[in-house]
Amino acid sequence: MAPRLALRALRYLASPRTHTPLNALAIPLGAPSARLASTQPKADSPAPPSTPSPSSSVTPAAPSSSSSSTVSRQTPADASASTQAGPSKTADRLAIPPLSRPPGVPNPPTAIPKSWSQRKDELLDEERHKAKRKALVKEATQGYFHDYNRARSANGGKLWTAPPVLIREDRALYFPDISGKSLLSTPVHTTSLLANRTSLVTLLSTRISEEHVQSFISPVLEDWSHRPGFQLVQINHQDNPLKSMLLTFFLSSLKRTVPEERWGSYIVSSGAWSAYDVTGPLGIENRLLGYVFLVDHNLKVRWAGCGPATPKETEDLRTATAVLMRRMQETQGEKSKAEQPS
């Protein structure tokens, strides 16, 4: 057996063999894997004759021209452009649109309770039913933590930016009637409270909204808090019955945080507001934010802001309040002169 194995080994070593040079198997970077199959000889075709040489077996092949086309080369200009694209996209995502329409309702509000005929007309009003269905569909398609997630964004969940100037009187709409109880435990309506005064109305429901409101009104209160004809009206609204009940238990502690001269203009309101009468017209799309409205003596909304105030918005509100107060004083002065007997 051993002589036979030795004879077979000698025959195998003496038989002629073909060698594939290493440079034939070199693949450029980024080339498709099918190129490897094209370089290997097929099984049913004879291998091309080649003479092995020491240089061909150790010298790697030069990279082909296809490698330059498959490997992308980034120039310094392209690198700077790609660097600038990231912040610009972030800025576009954080951009806040301006206030698109005057907030408020088209008809003058009233504190008189609605009659049966008026309630019947509301039940048969098709536009009101459409608005309610739209609000219900929008609320159903949003998650429970939708408002919380928006409030945690980089811009604080701000819905729109305030106008830089006063809204024109002929285009301004009326502030809707909101009822509740003041800190003096008396029923109050905003329609009777805002008449014949320049009012800074704030809507708040959470601690976050209170901070938003303070960022708007602090400089204005320094200028006009003790001036006749100006008032601050704060509306604390709780649509959740449990939160509303808890708030009534802590009215005494709430009175300690509010100055006594403002107890009559601090309204505690409970229950869900109508999307057709209040939240929709005033643009209240996130209940966690704070909202500020500048209302003139004719109950028209002349300026509005929401969310955390920017320095420009704070200064714009300060200027708008001064302009509105001056115009109201001039109007009241002209009326008093006209009423005096000649």
For residue 322, pLDDT beyond 90: yes
Give the span between the Cα atoms of 189 and 111, in whole angstroms. 6
Contact 268, 189 (CB under 8 A): no
Kindly report, residue by residue over 21-74, the tens digit of the pLDDT: 434 334 344 444 444 344 444 444 444 444 444 444 444 444 444 444 333 444
Instruction: Using a cut of 0.85, tell me whether the model's pTM lies above it.
Output: no
What's the pLDDT at 330?
Answer: 84
Kindly report, residue by residue over 133-176, the tens digit of the pLDDT: 777 776 666 665 666 666 666 666 788 999 999 999 999 999 99
3-state DSSP percent of the chain in helix, strand and coil, to 5: 50, 15, 40
Give the span between the Cα atoms of 319 and 164, in whole angstroms. 9
Neighbours of 198 (CB within 10 A): 22
What's the pLDDT at 64?
Answer: 44
255 to each of 188, 210, 224, 241, how far by Cα in Å? 17, 15, 22, 21
All structural domains of the chain, each given as residue ranges with its CATH number in brackets, are 159-339 (3.40.30.10)
> Phi-psi bin for 63: left (phi > 0), alpha (psi -120 to 50), beta?
beta
